[in-house]
Structure 1
Amino acid sequence: MFCYIIVDFLYLSSFDRRLCHVSVPVNAIDFYLDIRRQIEEQIQGFAEPISDKLLPDLHPLEQHVFTLVLDLNETLVYSDWKRDRGWRTFKRPGVDAFLEHLAKFYEIVIYSDQLSMYVDPVIERLDSEQRIRYRLSRGATKYQDGKHYRDLSKLNRNPGKVIYISGHALESCLQPENCLQIHPWKLEADDTALLDLIPFLEFVATRQPTDIRSVLASYEGKDIPPEFIKRSLEHQRRVQEQRQGRSLWRR
């Protein structure tokens, strides 16, 4: 009987509710309110990341270290299904060298919208040397408008020292100012996107800009690897000209 009472009560107008209020048992109303509260809490728990601090505090000696947040699918790996063999996951070209080199400079974090039952075994096979410090899966995302978003504000890190790299960066992250878009990988054998990013990322880690967001903003609308090389060559040219100018003045 309670189920019918609750359903009817949900669909009544506010005026009808006032009219029938006296006829609905108080315990039925309390039961409805309790169920609604539980449902709202479950929905909220599903929609929000599992914690406001998804990562533990950085060690005091590592406060200067930048955090490199990497998506998984079509960024580091690609998974597909075929009738004759089922699911298979492939490594993107250069992923081993990319992780090996940048682990010297960055705290590396995987942040995926996939379930942990998929993410964990993939990472274990991808990163046998344990260069990836932390892995975050669907439970750490924010569910909004029917999609699971990475919320970098929950990482417990200085937002000026976080870079998020994904083949779908702007579509999957709530902080576009921290995003570095990479070409989505779909099994192209000649792909070099990860390796091409290494010089820029190493430069950032060694030069320690105050806020990476302003650096990324300066590359907006440009392909970072070739643009970084162009700027580096231009900087070297200006330095060389200045040196030559000083030499002429001394003579």
Structure 2
Amino acid sequence: MDGVARSRLLVPLLPRISARSFSAASPASEPAAAAAAVAASDAAAATDYSSSAGDPSSAPPPPARKPLGLLKGGVLAVVAAAFGATGYVSYAYSLDEIDQRTREFRKNSKQPIRDDLSGFEKFQAMAYSAAMKVPVAAIEFYLDTRSQIEDQIRGFSEPSSDKLLPDLLPQEQHVFTLVLDLNETLVYSDWKRERGWRTFKRPGVDAFLEHLGKFYEIVVYSDQLSMYVDPVIERLDPKGCVRHRLSRVATKYENGKHYRDLSKLNRNPAQVIYISGHALESCLQPENCVEIKPWKLENDDTQLLDLIPFLEYVAMARPSDIRAVLASYQGRDIPAEFIERSKEHQRSKSIRAAYGGDDYRSFGRKSE
């Protein structure tokens, strides 16, 4: 009985003892189990590698070629060459020259196929016509595009019209045209912080315009915008001595500057005089220019008044070509030179009246 009772008392304690003994043994066995698992995985990997190395069918496939890359490079090279050739042709040849050089080529590519040709010749003609369609279309597209671009550029760089002034009346065909610059010739515009922009009249400008307006067709030709030119002329010329005003749209734009083109005035160039403080720098016809000192608010300036005698004489004498007259004054001060020539002319006239024609000629030779 005692043994049976003792065994019954030990039965509930057996699970605790077995569990305690298992949990105590597991920490010690974990490193060994992990090491065994790593060794087994390494062995399996080595076995797989050796088997795959020996089997050529299991090697990774080589990278595929990329023909599209070569195609793209070829297309880019062709496009770059086409742009380069177009740029060179545009620089080296004018539009008319290109049209003339390619006209025969374009004409031949569009010829109809004759009926009297053999079958092989017809095939050749059809193949040639088909092959030439793209080059011909490209040439015609280039010509049309360049023509449109040049027309647009010409609208900004060329004067607004080939006839900037209306026709002279029949009774005014003998009248000379006096073209005047505006800035630093008739007026001077100045800006200061305390008052902003102000425009000043050159000394003698009123008398100059009023007197010469009786002899000349006076035109103001400026490189400024009309929104500046018109108000200035209205204040400067209340009596209407200036018959025409030309602003920037009437100039020729070239190399970053606006030039006066007297050939577009619709006037006889032998009867046109252009006066400016920067005449030789701002006009395309230097043979018609009279350059005076630019005015920059000098109070003692008399340039305009000094020119009146010379200009009045020209209007009265009406030389056949004013350009020859101006060429004789080249490099000289026109007002001073004109006074000297006038004095010499008066002396010669007095001598001619006193001695007669023949005696005067002999007197002239002796005086030399």
TM-score between both structures, scaled by the size of structure 1: 0.86
What is the CA distance between 1:146 and its match in structure 2? 0.9
Q: How far apart in 1 are the matches of 2:268 and 2:142?
A: 43
Provide the secondary structure at the position in 2 that maps to 1:133: strand
Deviation at 1:80, TM superposition (A): 1.2
Task: With a CA cutoff of 8 Å and minimum separation of 6, indicate the structure with the bigger relative contact order.
Answer: 1
| Secondary structure at 1:13 match in 2 | helix
Q: Deviations over 1:24-83 (max 9, x none)?
A: 9xxxx9999876654432211111000000000000000000000000000000001111
What aligned pairs does 1:92-111 form with structure 2 within 5 A after superposition? Answer: 92-111=202-221
Query: Is there any run of 5+ residues in structure 1 with no aligned partner, and where?
Result: 1-7, 19-23
Query: Which residue type is aligned with residue 183 of structure 2?
Result: N
Q: Does 1:180 align with 2:294?
A: no
- Give deviations 1:153-185, integer Å, cap 9, x for gaps: 000000000000000000000000000001100
Q: Is 1:12 aligned with 2:12?
A: no
Describe how 1:221-240 pairs up with structure 2 within 5 A: 221-240=331-350
Larger strand proportion of the pair: 1
Which 10-residue stretch deviates more, 38-47 or 126-135?
A: 38-47
- 1:93-172 equivalent positions in 2, closer than 5 A: 93-172=203-282
- In structure 2, what residue type is equivalent to 1:166? S
Distance 1:133 1:72 in 2: 14
1:201 paired to 2:269: no
C-alpha RMSD over aligned residues? 2.8
Q: Residues of 2 paired with 1:85 and 1:15: CA distance?
A: 54
1:55 to 165, 168, 173: 165
Rounded to whole Å, the distance in 2 between the matches of 1:162 and 1:40 is: 31
TM-score w.r.t. the length of structure 2 is 0.59
Unmatched runs of 5 consecutive residues or more in structure 2? 1-75, 87-133, 360-368
Secondary structure class of the residue paired with 1:110? strand
Matches within 5 A, 1:202-217: 202-217=312-327
User: Separation in 2 of the partners of 1:205 and 1:160?
Assistant: 13
Quick one: structure 1 residues 231 and 33, their matched pair in 2 at CA, closer, same or farther if it must change by over 3 Å?
A: closer
Q: Percent identity?
A: 74
> Residue 330 of structure 2: which of 198, 211, 220 is its match?
220
Q: Helix, strand or coil: the match of 1:46?
A: helix
Paired AA for residue 61 in structure 1: Q
- Relative to structure 1, the CA distance from residue 235 to residue 154 in structure 2 (aligned partners, 3 Å threshold; closer, same or farther) is same
Are residues 1:190 and 2:300 paired? yes
How far apart are the structure 2 equivalents of 1:226 and 1:16? 58
Q: What's the CA shift string for 1:62-115, capped at 9, x where partnerless?
A: 000000000000000000111111111000000000000000000000000001
In 2, distance between residues paired with 1:16 and 1:179?
A: 43
Match of 1:3 in 2: none
Specify the alignment match of 2:176 in structure 1.
66
Summarize deviations over 1:122-149 as a string: whole Å, max 9, x none: 0010011111000000000001111100
Give the SS at the match of 2:245. Answer: strand
Q: Which amino acid aligns with 1:188?
A: E
